[in-house]
Amino acid sequence: MRILFINGLYEPYVGGGAEITLHKLTRGLMSLGHQVAVLSIGDNVGLCIDRVDGVKVYRAGIRNLYFPHGNKTPSPLSRTAWHLLDCYNPLMQDYVRTVVDAEKPEVSSCHNLAGWSVSAWDALSDCGVPIVQVLHDQYLLCPTSTMFDGHSPCQKQCLRCRTLRLPHAGKSNQVSAVVGVSRFILDKLLSYGYFRDTPIRQVIYNARTLDAAFHHSRERAVGGRRVFGFIGTLAPQKGIEMLLDSFSQCTEAGWRLIVAGTGRSGYEAELKKRYRNENISFAGYSSPMDFFEKIDICVVPSLWEDTFPGVVLESLSMGVPVIGSERGGIPEMLQNGYNGLLFNPGDPHGLASAMRRMSEGLDSWPLHRAGIVKSSLPFSDGYGWSKQWENVYAGVV
C-alpha cells in the first residue's frame, strides 16, 4: 500500500510521544513492504522534501501567525488568533492536495492535526483518499490538546473549547477508521459524539521498548535507600510540583529524587529555586537507559488525563515498578500491586502515601522484576504492532 502520514512534526523534530510512535510506525510498515510518505509542519517557507531513515518527509511551512513549536513564547492575543485560524485553516489544504497528487496514496493516516486543523480531512476527502484518524491526545476537543485548566482536568468542554471545536464532530464522520492509542481516549471522543458514522473504531496501544531491556547493572534498593525518579517535560500538567511537594514532606532517611527532563526556562528555574533540597537532583536531559539504571521507583504523577505515557512502558520494560496517577490511559498499563501502584491525584496525601507503601515493600519487588518486565511484553511486540496497523489500513482501502 501507499500510505501518507500527516502529523505536526516528524523526526528529528520531536514534540512528544506521537512523534516517537509515528517514527516507529513508518519504519515498521516499510519493513512490511509498504510505501510511506510523511507530511509534517516546519518553520520553513513553502514545501520542502527531506529523507529520514529512508522515509520521504514533506515539511510544509505553517500558514498561521507563528510556528507553534518554536522557542519564542507568543503573546496571549497571538495565541488566541492562532487557535481561531486553527479551528479550520483552509490555507493548509493546498499542501495536502499537492502531496496527494505527487504520492497518490491509497490511504492516509492522520495523527496530531494541530497546525493542519481538520481542514486536512476535507482536502483528503476531496481527493478521494480514505482517512484513518489516530487519537494521541485531546486536540479534537480542546485547542491546548489537554483539557486541563491549570490545576485539574476539565470535567467538560468550556465555552472556548466548544466554540473552537464547533465543526469538528460533524466533520469527523468522513473518517473511515479511528484508532485510539488507549481505550480512554477513544471512549472519550466517542462520548462527545465524534465518529458516529465511522465504521472502524479500534484501540491499538503504542509499542515502546528500550534496548537491552533485561540488563540491570545497578544493585537496587539496598537497605533503606530509595531512589525515586521522574522523567519527562517539566510542566504543571505533568504533576511535577505535586511530586516535589510530596517528596519534600517525606522525611524518610535514605530517600532521593532524580528529576530528569526540561521545561520552559522560567518555570524550570522557579522549580529549582523553590525545591532546593540536597536529596532532590535536577538532572536535565537524560537518556531513558541511563535514567532507569539510576532509580528504584518511577513516578508518573500526571494531573491531566495523560493518554498513554510511554515512560510507563519504558520503566516496566526495565523491571522498574511505577507509581502512576489514576487518570487517562495510565490505569490501562498498571496492575495495582503487581507492576506498580495507582494513586488518586485529587487526594493531597495520595502520592506520599503511595511512595511510602512502595518503599515499605520495595525489598520484595526485585523478586517480582521478571513479572514487571513480562507485563510490558504485550506493548513491545513491534512486528505484531505493525501488523495491527497494516490490517487497519487494508480495511479502508
Of 109, 92, 104, 125, the C-alpha closest to 38 is: 109
pLDDT in tens, 245-285: 999 999 888 999 999 999 988 999 999 999 999 999 999 99
- β-pairing verdict for 131-135 and 177-180: parallel
Does residue 147 contact residue 304 with C-beta atoms inside 8 Å?
Answer: yes
The CATH H-level (homologous superfamily) assignment of domain 226-379 is Glycogen Phosphorylase B; (3.40.50.2000)
pLDDT in tens, 153-184: 999 999 999 999 999 999 999 999 999 999 99
Q: Quick check: 223 pLDDT over 80?
A: no
* Domain residue extents for the chain: 2-207+381-396, 226-379
Task: Enumerate residues 6+ apart whose C-beta is below 8 A from 273.
Answer: none
Q: Quick check: 231 pLDDT over 80?
A: yes
Q: Give CA–CA dist 226/365, Å, rounded.
A: 12
Dig out the grid coordinates for 223 from the structure. Answer: 537497605
| Three-state helix/strand/coil letters over the chain | CEEEEECCCCCCCCCCHHHHHHHHHHHHHHHCCCEEEEEEEECCCCEEEEEECCEEEEEEECCCCCCCCCCCCCCHHHHHHHHHHHHCCHHHHHHHHHHHHHHCCCEEEECCCCCCCCHHHHHHHHCCCCEEEEECCCCCCCCCCCCECCCCECCCCCHHHHHHCCCHHHHHHHCCEEEECCHHHHHHHHHCCCCCCCCEEEECCCCCCCCCCCCCCCCCCCCCCEEEEEECCECHHHCHHHHHHHHHHCCCCCEEEEEECCECHHHHHHHHHHCCCCCEEEEECCCHHHHHHHCCEEEECCCCCCCCCHHHHHHHHCCCCEEEECCCCHHHCCCECCCEEEECCCCCCHHHHHHHHHHHCHHHHHHHHHHHHHHHHHHCCHHHHHHHHHHHHHHHC
Write down the pLDDT at residue 209.
64
Looking at the structure, give the CATH architecture of the domain made up of residues 2-207+381-396: 3-Layer(aba) Sandwich (3.40)
pLDDT in tens, 199-213: 999 999 999 766 544
Same CATH topology for 2-207+381-396 and 226-379: the answer is: yes
The more confident residue out of 382 and 390 is: 390
Dig out the grid coordinates for 16 from the structure. Answer: 512528544
Q: Quick check: 214 pLDDT over 50?
A: no
Burial of 220 (0-12, 13-18, 19+ CB in 10 A): buried
Which amino acid is it at 177? A
Does residue 60 contact residue 92 with C-beta atoms inside 8 Å?
Answer: yes
Write down the pLDDT at residue 213.
44
Vertex 16: Cα angle to 234 and 218 (nearest 5): 65
Mean pLDDT of 88-110: 99
pLDDT in tens, 49-92: 999 999 999 999 999 999 998 878 899 999 999 999 999 999 99
Q: Quick check: 351 pLDDT over 60?
A: yes
- β-pairing verdict for 107-110 and 55-61: unpaired
Q: Give CA–CA dist 397/130, Å, rounded.
A: 7
Q: Give CA–CA dist 92/114, Å, rounded.
A: 11
Q: Give CA–CA dist 255/221, Å, rounded.
A: 10
Does residue 252 contact residue 226 with C-beta atoms inside 8 Å?
Answer: yes
Q: Give CA–CA dist 107/46, Å, rounded.
A: 24
Q: What's the pTM?
A: 0.93
Q: Give CA–CA dist 124/107, Å, rounded.
A: 9
Q: Quick check: 219 pLDDT over 70?
A: no
